[in-house]
Amino acid sequence: MQKKERFRRFLDYFTQHYPEPKTELHFNNSYELLVAVILSAQCTDKRINQISPALFARFPEPESLAAASVDEVFSYIRSVSYPNNKAKHLVGMAKTLMEQFGGEIPATLDELQTLPGVGRKTAHVILSVVYNEPTMAVDTHVFRVSHRLGLAPLTATTPLAVEKALMAHIPKQYVPKAHHWLILHGRYICLARTPKCAECQLRDFCKYYENQALTDSGIKQIMIQRK
């Protein structure tokens, strides 16, 4: 199957079945989203949603977070992954927001990446969700699912390479949604260790499933020949 056809079928399925996907992180404004995304690195959205209400109640805006001690922030996020580093990042991020951006969330990739704890992926999430920009944040789910479906070539061995491969074939108006489609599919169906291929509605054009079927067929043939 040609790559163009894979992308067409990918878009056709999700625009029909999940036309308005959204992040599963809970937030009320762009500041809360930024904090939640920083915390979500190598951690589940479920865990972040459990600890964020108390965190946001104590630090409802960048000003209060910028004035906080790292130790106090740590006490609210101790159950997430890498809490020491994330506490430092959150306080540093808030201070930079106040000192350089007047407490407003930047609207460009370069400016967002000047914030402690904000890399390319996090910046793209903010640009996509807050500003509806056609940016593709590539996390572990997007990376895995893109390769398995055949949307990204095997030569795309970095998040940036996968990002470029996806951006080259997905129309701009669908890019913010496609980010969520890939994440949610990876989170609930295309699992890292045991993908639920039997439940997957994309298996008819999935490269991973096609190769797996061929492998299984070959194994069965060998077993028949040995009998």
Indicate the annotated binding residues for [4Fe-4S] cluster: 190, 197, 200, 206
Catalytic-role residue among 139, 164, 177, 227:
139
Q: What are phi and psi of 196, to 5 degrees?
A: -90, 65
Query: Residues forming the annotated binding site?
Result: 190, 197, 200, 206
Place of tokens 């969700």: 129
Residue 183 DSSP one-character state: H
- 156, 152, 134, 149: which is closest to 200 by C-alpha? 149
Distance in angstroms (rounded) separating the CA atoms of residues 47 and 140:
17
- 34, 52, 42: which is closest to 125 by C-alpha? 34
Identify whether the C-beta of residue 148 lies closer than 8 Å to the C-beta of residue 208: yes
Catalytic-role residue among 45, 71, 88, 121:
121
Distance in angstroms (rounded) separating the CA atoms of residues 117 and 39:
9
- Does 139 participate in catalysis according to the annotation? yes
Place of tokens 């930024």: 34
Residue 93 CB-half CA count within 13 A: 31
Which residues, at least 6 apart from 21, have a Cβ–Cβ distance to it below 8 Å?
14, 177, 180, 181, 184
- Does 121 participate in catalysis according to the annotation? yes
Angular region, 81: left φ>0, alpha ψ -120 to 50, beta rest: beta
- For the annotated catalytic residues, the residue numbers are 121, 139
